Structure 1
């Protein structure tokens, strides 16, 4: 688990093909690795990667075909800059929100403009994720915990304050760029709750949620909805 508060910006030093998947080497720059052990997790641009080697100036991680299919890692090359965060501890301040490091989809930056000292972005998510994004709700973009200021016809709007821009890769993000998105996990569990945690396969073979007796009235009666 992570909080979405970036601890350092590192860079890719090598990308090695390994019989269909990839082995990455990441230079971690200012990230303190003194308490990191083999098998620990480090969020890298929002992707939870497992440390398999600790060469001294960074870490090495294997990236499966599943991860390659749902992230931008396959397009990374030597020099690609990445946001880094170590897994949270029980004593960690929850400065952001609960982040799992499992990318839900790729968004596209549609707008970027100055807003006083901040930068305002509009990002278009995949249609399947739009329902999980709420105005003033949490969203993770390339591993950064952010607040969706508003929903727009193109997607959702973000305001990046100077500190966040300076301490992450978002300062260089441009229109047309793809970014990793992870929606608030609470929205995911709420959907499962509303559907009773059940699913079925439709005629196309795709898994669909099955409706249950839990609705807004039920949630309101039991103190979950106002």
Structure 2
């Protein structure tokens, strides 16, 4: 589990094709101290397992499922990525409960400066739209955000200067794809209600 509060801005160092899957090396200078093999690290909201360490970087294997369901297939060497290590009992829950299991890929459709903040509008896949509610939580590329408004498949968020400069959002352009994870409570509530209707 994660909180959606980005701890470090890392970078893709190397991408290797291995047996039909992909192995990535992700640089995170000064961030990995205390990390161990098998640790979960969210990379742009995708929960990955550290399978090896290479100096100031960690290595992770990405399956075909992960590549198909996220933006990871489009990542290139040198790309910046948002990093967050898994939640521990001592870590403050400053965002919301995030699983690191991406539900779908959305698109940035509008970007407007608003005083010192930025207003961003995204379009979600139709199958995810009903999970997104005004003043609810959404995870975009691993970042916990509050939904300002919803209009069909489109929704808006406000980005404060801290988030703009310390995550990948400040590097996004209209048309860019992003990983989306909807609120866990909404997802499980729907599943419970669906199960009740069929019994």
TM-score exceeds 0.5:
yes
Q: Could you tell me whether the CA contact under 8 Å between 1:149 and 1:156 is conserved in 2? A: yes
**SS of residue matched to 1:195:** helix
Q: Distance in 2 between matches of 1:35 and 1:178?
A: 32
Matched residue SS, 1:54: strand
Q: For structure 1, which runs of at least 5 residues remain unmatched after alignment?
A: 198-210, 214-226
In structure 2, what is the equivalent of residue 99 of structure 1?
Answer: 98
The residue matched to 2:67 in structure 1 has which SS? helix
Contact 2:47 2:99 in 1 (8 A): yes
Compute the TM-score of the two structures, normalised by the length of structure 2: 0.97
Deviation per CA, 1:83-121: give whole Å up to 9, x if none.
000001011111000000000000001100001110101
Structure having the higher Rg: 1
Alpha-carbon distance between aligned partners in 1 of 2:122 and 2:145, rounded to the nearest angstrom: 12
Distance 1:152 1:181 in 2: 17
Distance 1:153 1:97 in 2: 23
Partner secondary structure for residue 85 of structure 1: strand
Q: How far apart, CA to CA, are the structure 2 residues paired with 1:113 and 1:152?
A: 17
Kept after mapping to 2: 8 A contact 1:106/1:179 = yes
Give the Å deviation of 1:14: 0.4
Q: Which residue of 1 aligns with 2:129?
A: 130
User: In 1, are the aligned partners of 2:125 and 2:153 still within 8 Å (CA)?
Assistant: no
Structure 2 partner of 1:193: 192
* Alpha-carbon contact 2:30-2:56 (below 8 Å) kept: no
Moved over 2 A (4+): none
The residue number in structure 1 matching 2:87 is 88
- SS for the counterpart of 1:106 is strand
Shift of 1:29: 2.8
Q: Tell me: higher relative CO, structure 1 or 2? Use CA pairs within 8 A at least 6 residues apart.
A: 2
Aligned to 1:19: 19
RMSD (CA atoms)? 1.2
The Cα shift of 1:79 comes to: 0.3
More strand by share: 2
TM-score (norm 1): 0.85
Match of 2:46 in 1: 47
Q: Which runs of 5 or more residues in structure 2 are unaligned?
A: none
Q: Is the 8 A contact 1:110 1:154 kept in 2?
A: no
